[in-house]
A and B are shown apart, each in its own frame.
Chain A
Amino acid sequence: MKNNILYVLKKTWKYEKAILGILGLQTLVGVFVPWISMYLPVVVLDGISGQITRNMLWFGVAGLIVLLTSCNIVRAYVDASYDTHLMNNKIHYLADLFRKNMELDYAYIESKEGQNRFQYVLHTLTNDALGITGMLTRLGQLWSSVLSIVLYVGMVAALDIWVVTILIFTSVIHLIFVNLFLKRLHHQKEEGVDIERKINYLFSYIQSEKSHKDIKLYAMQDWLRGKIHALIHERIRWAQQLTYYNVYIGISDTVLLILRDALAYYCIFQGLFTHQLGISEFTFYFSAITGFSAFISKLSTSIAYISQRSREVDAFREYMELPVMKGKEALSQDHIPQLELQHVSFRYHEEGAEILKDINMIWKPREKIALVGENGAGKSTLVKLLCGLYQPTSGKILVDGKELAPEELQTYFAVAFQDIHILPMTAAENIAFDQMPQAEKAVQTCIRKVGLEETFPDVNTPVTKLLHKEGKVLSGGQEQRLILARTLYRLMYQGATLLLLDEPTAALDPLAEQAFYRQYEQMTEDRSAIFISHRLASTQFCDRVLVLKEGRIIEEGTHQELLAKKGYYEEMFTIQSQYYKGGTV
């Protein structure tokens, strides 16, 4: 835990120094205020009973109150402005997390483990009560508790060493108890995390815009509501189990309180009766001893809280230390490489099934390949391997005869995947990203080529309503064209020479599809391309067809060759084309 505190402090020094100042102030105030509050009654009583002069009384009381008030004002101000600084700090950590996430191996972040970890760390960073922000909110309290305890021990030791010893002893026992209970609590908590996740998933599912139509049409309401209800019931039962620990801690607290207070009274009465103590000292030491227990209890809750946060910080640090790939090299300008796969196999993890088995293929420069096959045959996986998002489990991928680092391989590619991601920025930024504003002319050319000039007369129009209220909401077809423009830009202006298209016409109507194929011929004139599609019409535009089935390449050749073979491809093509030929179906 100490390590994590130091880590957080060091980073805070880098990101938001003001926080350290605030923590310091919080600690000081946290120590001073109770201390001053303890002295006030002493001064008052001494003054009244004549132990000190009137002047000293007035000065003392006024002075202490002024000091107290100033401390409180400082604390109020600091606490109120803490939020802002914590937020700034949070953003830096989030940016760090995203950067890291974008550097990691794609196969990892796609995997269940990668996703879970990322979501967990993200959750602890964004929530103010968790993770680093949570820790920072209570650190001040932790330190002031520790310092106060040291102070009080000193003061009470002046009264009676035994009192101090017993106080410390009982407090340590209490802390040990609390720790023990909290460990068991934490263990039990993990079981409930699963239920929470399920509840949260269902909550967001029933509220989401996307699921509405299906929920209504299929009258899923009662079914889903029943599930939620049952889960909540379980969750409450689990909460009931957890809270038992609080009762145990409460009982421990009570026992210690009785011991402590009894001890305190005994010692102080002794002092009173043996005239070692005056009345004001009675008040003082009594406050000290009972205040001591308040600090112990504050300390134990702070420690409990911060140790939980510390675990979350652990998760963050571990994530940040995951191994990454090296940095990117500059884009290779206009060189068209030859790609070769030698005995490439791939599985997602060791116990998983082999998705691709012993793939051998050569992709010559300027060759246009069509990749076809059933769902689940492995087409998308093959494509991700080709462009360097996955690493082969065995076998090699050679670029012009050499093995390249994945990031280098990626620089050759311009890819359009099936899942469409439109950024909440301008259309131009969606196409050329950070090359804007210089690339405006180029962007306009691309927009024209995909037929979006009517939709975007001004390429600097924002898209989606996420960040801009006036953002344009695009239809499925328009989105697909925007993605195409993005790919086009990369091909034409960023020197990518390998084009990869995964079902680019899925959402296009026949006319738009036709226009696309024309476009495609132009786009790929001086490039290599791989085209995945279920619409076998697309194979017409390709030099070669690769047929994938259950992870293997089973047929290879031109469209005509494969038709003549009368194998799997021919069967597929016939099934699909039968509707388009004359005669009955």
Chain B
Amino acid sequence: MKNIVYALKILFRITPILVVLLVIINVLSAGQPFINLIFSQRIIDSYLADANWDTLIGYAIWAIVLNAGIVLGKALLNRWQEILFTQFELRFEEKLRVHQMNYSLEDITSNRVQEAQRSIEQAKMRGFQFETLIPRIQSLIQGFFSLCFAFATFIQVFSLGEKNAVPSFWTGPFPLVLILTLSAGLSIISFRMQAKKNHQITKLNQEANAANGSAFAYMQLISDYHFGKEIRLYGLREFLCNAFEKLWSSSIGYRLMQKLGKEKALIPCMTALCNGILDLCIYGLAIMKALHGEISTGMVLVYISSIRIFTQAVLGVVNTMGEMLGFGELLEPYFTLLEIPEEQEEQEKEEFLPQKPYILEVQNVYFRYPDTKEWVLQNVSCTFRQGEATAVVGINGSGKSTLIKLLCRFYEPQKGCIRLNGIDIRHIPLVQYRRLISAVFQDFSLPALSMGEVIACNAQYDAAKVREMLARVGLDCWMQDKDVTMETALYKQYDGAGVEISGGEGQKVAIARALYQNGPCMILDEPTAALDPRTEAEVYESFHRITPDRMVIFISHRLSSCRFCRQILVFDHGRLIQSGNHKALIEQDGMYKTLWQAQAQFYQ
């Protein structure tokens, strides 16, 4: 329930006018059927009272005018409502996504967030989104006003009842009260049942979603065209498609859906039955009243219709409310995501602006990832100085990339600390600290926007500077050949006219970006893995040239990068086991020598 209230608050905050519009539109919708109802009654009764043509025409004209007015009014208001609806949809989505963009790295990789994101995606495919709430609210509002109008109508009818009726059980308010009580009773029963059902349905829904979600995620995988190579070469077509169909029709997904269908059908069927029972009662009552002369012929239909509308509205409102309670659970992942805090944003502080020369010290750092037991880094201590190039080497899994993540403050060490010019980096405002670092990660990503913007990470960029960086990584010739400018988009997902770039070209762009951003600390994690020898040498040259003003940290499996590094750090299973320059390390009989020889042997 609190989710629904929360959702309404959000709706009101983002597009308050929408709420007002919804009310007005639904008041009109609720009132519409009553126009014909009331005017039919007037017409019938006037006719029976031998009215003339003109009177009847008068009523007819009123009815037409009012109806037309409502239809036109609704059309205009609906148009407005649609725009606001779209606005709400988009602004809410924006709010949600931007919020997630600002999560800490720890949060965004956590299971909790991944699951919530997945639930939302799956629900979307079944047609459920956050804004699906709005039509339900509309039904509620319309139902409520129908209720009110109906009530007003039959109370009026009642008070206009003929006084010279034959008194009997059927005249007077008693039977009506009975019916209303019956209606209330049925509604309560229905509501109770729905509440119980909701819980079952939500549980089934979640299980079904989990099973479906897997099927759909699997589906994303096999429809990735890159995978198409293996699919053809290994002849995997039947294997994968059969697995897909099996995944669906296997125990969980399929049977759950069947069960779900039957459970979901219960409440609507019950509602239909209740309405039927009430209809019998209402019709019976109205007929008896008419036969006993209490209400006129024209009134009969009004009476019947208004009570019917009333009872149906009651049941309808109750059902919608019950449904919405169920919704509350479906909305849960949205609120899970909204409640997770963003990375702290502090104001920049003058006193924390480190001065040159920079020294980054890692002091006795221990680190393990959240929810894991093994230490990834143990008692690591090292120093990075401005003007020095450091190579970090070690076999896969020795903790190199993790150290980088700590240096970028994506995580914080459990023990020990990292200091910049003596200040614990946790005390420096995050955005100020990160500005000092430019990195090319092993799994870097480039948004599919224009080249200039991507390199500058901004809509405005210094074109000359961008051009220079592109030249430094050797992309200028490539750009000329392919007729690519700084306004050309990378990849084709955003702009269909973008240029498709290979892994190596992407790596060059990422390096150009790091060079453009020009932080005093440059970190490169496998920057040349996809580059040919000449470009690799150029990149090393580039960094060698800028090293005097910065600290440069290389992680690379290509030990060639070690030759010009002042300092080499050798990691093994999370510990720093050797450090020194190449000459010193090659004379020790350690891991470095082993690694070096393993690679160098092929180049002699």
Contact = CB atoms under 8 A, between A and B. Distances in A.
Interface in A370-385: 372-376, 380, 384
A384 B438 CA distance: 36
A69 B276 contact: yes
A84 interface: yes
22 contacts: A65-B283, A73-B276, A80-B262, A84-B257, A95-B245, A198-B494, A205-B447, A206-B101, A214-B446, A216-B105, A217-B437, A218-B457, A223-B453, A235-B86, A250-B76, A250-B78, A253-B75, A279-B47, A283-B44, A415-B230, A475-B396, A575-B533
Nearest to B538: A575
Contacts of B598: 510-511, 513-514
Interface string A196-211: 0111011101111111
Given A44-B300, A212-B108, A258 B68 contact: yes
Nearest to B297: A48
A509 B67 contact: no
Contacts of B164: none
B245 A91 contact: yes
Nearest to B237: A102
Contacts of A418: 503, 530
A380 B563 CA distance: 31
Interface stretch (A121-129, A300-308, A337-345): A121-129
Given A126-B125, A210-B443, A514-B598, A223 B264 contact: no
A236 B105 contact: no
Nearest to B442: A476
B165 interface: no
A269 B44 CA distance: 11
A409 B546 CA distance: 50
Contacts of A73: 269, 272-273, 276
Contacts of B217: 424, 466-467
Contacts of B415: none
Given A81-B261, A217-B434, A576-B537, A95 B44 contact: no
A213 B401 CA distance: 12
A486 B234 CA distance: 10
A180 interface: no
Interface in B427-445: 431, 434-435, 437-439, 441-445
A271 to B, nearest CB: 11
Contacts of A273: 53
A69 B438 CA distance: 71
Given A48-B300, A510-B559, 12 more contacts: A79-B265, A91-B245, A109-B228, A213-B443, A216-B408, A243-B82, A250-B79, A254-B68, A273-B53, A410-B233, A467-B217, A534-B531
A534 B532 contact: yes
The 9 residue pairs across chains A and B that have the minimum distance between CB atoms:
A250-B75, A69-B276, A537-B602, A80-B265, A579-B560, A76-B268, A375-B504, A477-B396, A72-B272
Interface stretch (B285-293, B377-385, B573-581): B285-293
B536 to A, nearest CB: 7
B529 interface: yes
A48 to B, nearest CB: 5
B271 interface: yes
B537 A45 contact: no
A244 B149 CA distance: 32
A414 to B, nearest CB: 8
A146 interface: no
B221 A128 contact: no
A77 B254 CA distance: 19
A77 B261 CA distance: 9
A512 B396 contact: yes
A375 B44 contact: no
A251 B75 contact: yes
A83 B599 contact: no
B356 interface: no
Nearest to A239: B86
B228 A102 contact: yes
A84 B557 CA distance: 53
Given A207-B100, A251-B72, A375 B531 contact: yes
Given A62-B280, A95-B244, A572 B228 contact: no
Contacts of B72: 250-251, 254
A214 B559 contact: no
A390 B437 CA distance: 43
Given A98-B244, A199-B90, A251-B72, A279 B56 contact: no
B124 to A, nearest CB: 8
Contact of B234 (A62, A112, A476, A490): A490
Contacts of A524: none
Contact of B502 (A57, A76, A376, A423): A376
Interface in A483-522: 486, 490, 503, 506-514, 517
